């Protein structure tokens, strides 16, 4: 069997020292295969966000091993982790984190600007990413001119413009109403299925976690359960669309 894309072994994370020390992770073991869609759930203080920050290379574990494509991430320097993030990871947060006075196109181009990409290449890649999230024609609108769902789509376009292997989404629907939340989840599902992007999503909403192929529950800093979802919502919707698609393609 091939090695998993991501492997955590005995990961701990302690904040502070002495009597005030807080142990956020207490020996996490977790394997994630390339192309998976994993929802990470758990109550407040369970360690799920700390685990996500560790997976994304935003934080380093106190002890344990984190292997990404066989590389020991826990041994990398700050600059090496930054290069790893720029090359392999895209991030989506609950707060859209868009620059307020900057157009959708320019917001999406930012990761490529940091990479030093030429202007023409940035423009083309950003337009492609915005098209992939259904925002063709909205390139020159600022965040104030976009709905919450559209802003999150811009944030997702920004996360995928570098063509990452892994998309890490931390409560991506937390600021959206039910309809917009479903639209965003449908989008994440399509990115996973059509583009092969591995999706890791922190959520407290069971309805959103139901889109994932796998649901991991954290409790008190450890993995409490790790189960396959036999009927992801996205797969059910895709199956439901098949009869209509077949009908629409028949000759009159």
By CB neighbour count within 10 A (0-12 exposed, 13-18 middle, 19+ buried), where does 231 fall?
exposed
pLDDT of residue 252: 35
DSSP alpha helix (H) spans, the chain: 48-55, 78-88, 104-115, 119-132, 148-160, 178-195, 206-209, 233-248
Contact status, residue 54 vs residue 25, Cβ threshold 8 Å: yes
Q: Is pLDDT of 246 > 60?
A: no
State how far the Cα of 96 lies from the Cα of 130, in Å rounded to an integer.
15
pLDDT of residue 234: 76
State how far the Cα of 223 lies from the Cα of 38, in Å rounded to an integer.
13
Question: Which two structure tokens, joined as six digits, stand for 109?
Answer: 């181009």
Give this prediction's pTM. 0.89
> What percent of the chain is helix, strand and coil (3-state, nearest 5)?
40, 25, 35
State the CB neighbour count (10 A cutoff) for residue 114: 11
State how far the Cα of 143 lies from the Cα of 201, in Å rounded to an integer.
23
Instruction: Name the residue with tokens 């802003």.
Output: 151
Q: What is the pLDDT of residues 74-102, one digit of tens each?
A: 999 999 999 999 999 999 988 889 999 99
**Nearest to residue 63, comparing CAs of 9, 7, 11, 6?**
11
As a whole number, mean pLDDT of residues 34-56 equals 95
State how far the Cα of 124 lies from the Cα of 67, in Å rounded to an integer.
33
As a whole number, mean pLDDT of residues 102-123 equals 94
Question: Which two structure tokens, joined as six digits, stand for 43?
Answer: 């109550």
Going across the sheet that includes 63-68, the strands are 22-32, 6-15, 63-68, 71-72
List the chain domain ranges. 6-241
Q: What is the pLDDT of residues 193-235, one digit of tens each?
A: 999 999 999 999 999 999 999 999 999 999 999 999 999 987 6
The answer to whether the Cα torsion of 163, 164, 166, 167 is positive or negative is negative
Q: What is the pLDDT of residues 160-187, one digit of tens each?
A: 999 999 999 999 998 899 999 999 999 9
Domain 6-241, second-level architecture: 3-Layer(aba) Sandwich (3.40)
pLDDT of residue 104: 97
pLDDT of residue 237: 66
**Nearest to residue 141, comparing CAs of 129, 130, 156, 132?**
130
Q: Is pLDDT of 57 > 70?
A: yes
């Amino acid at each position: 069997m091939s090695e998993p894309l991501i492997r955590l072994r005995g990961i701990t994370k302690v904040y502070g020292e002495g009597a005030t020390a807080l142990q956020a992770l207490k020996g996490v073991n977790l394997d994630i295969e390339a192309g998976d869609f994993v929802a990470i759930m758990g109550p407040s203080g369970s360690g799920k966000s700390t685990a996500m920050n560790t997976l994304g290379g935003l934080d380093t574990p106190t002890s344990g091993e984190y292997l990404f494509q066989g590389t020991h991430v826990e041994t990398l320097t700050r600059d090496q982790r930054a290069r790893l993030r720029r090359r392999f990871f895209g991030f989506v947060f609950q707060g859209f984190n868009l620059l307020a006075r900057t157009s959708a196109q320019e917001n999406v181009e930012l990761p490529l600007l940091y990479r030093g990409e030429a202007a023409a290449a940035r423009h083309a890649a950003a337009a492609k990413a915005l098209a992939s999230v259904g925002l063709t024609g909205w390139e020159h609108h600022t965040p104030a001119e976009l709905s919450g769902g559209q802003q999150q789509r811009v944030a997702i376009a920004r996360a995928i413009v570098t063509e990452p292997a892994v998309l890490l989404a931390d409560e991506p629907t937390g600021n959206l109403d039910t309809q917009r939340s479903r639209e965003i989840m449908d989008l994440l599902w399509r990115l996973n299925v059509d583009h092969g992007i591995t999706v890791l999503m922190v959520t407290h909403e069971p309805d959103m976690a139901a889109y994932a192929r796998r649901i991991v529950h954290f409790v008190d800093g450890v993995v409490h359960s790790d189960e396959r979802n036999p009927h992801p919502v996205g797969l059910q919707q895709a199956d439901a669309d098949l009869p209509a698609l077949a009908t629409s393609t028949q000759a009159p």
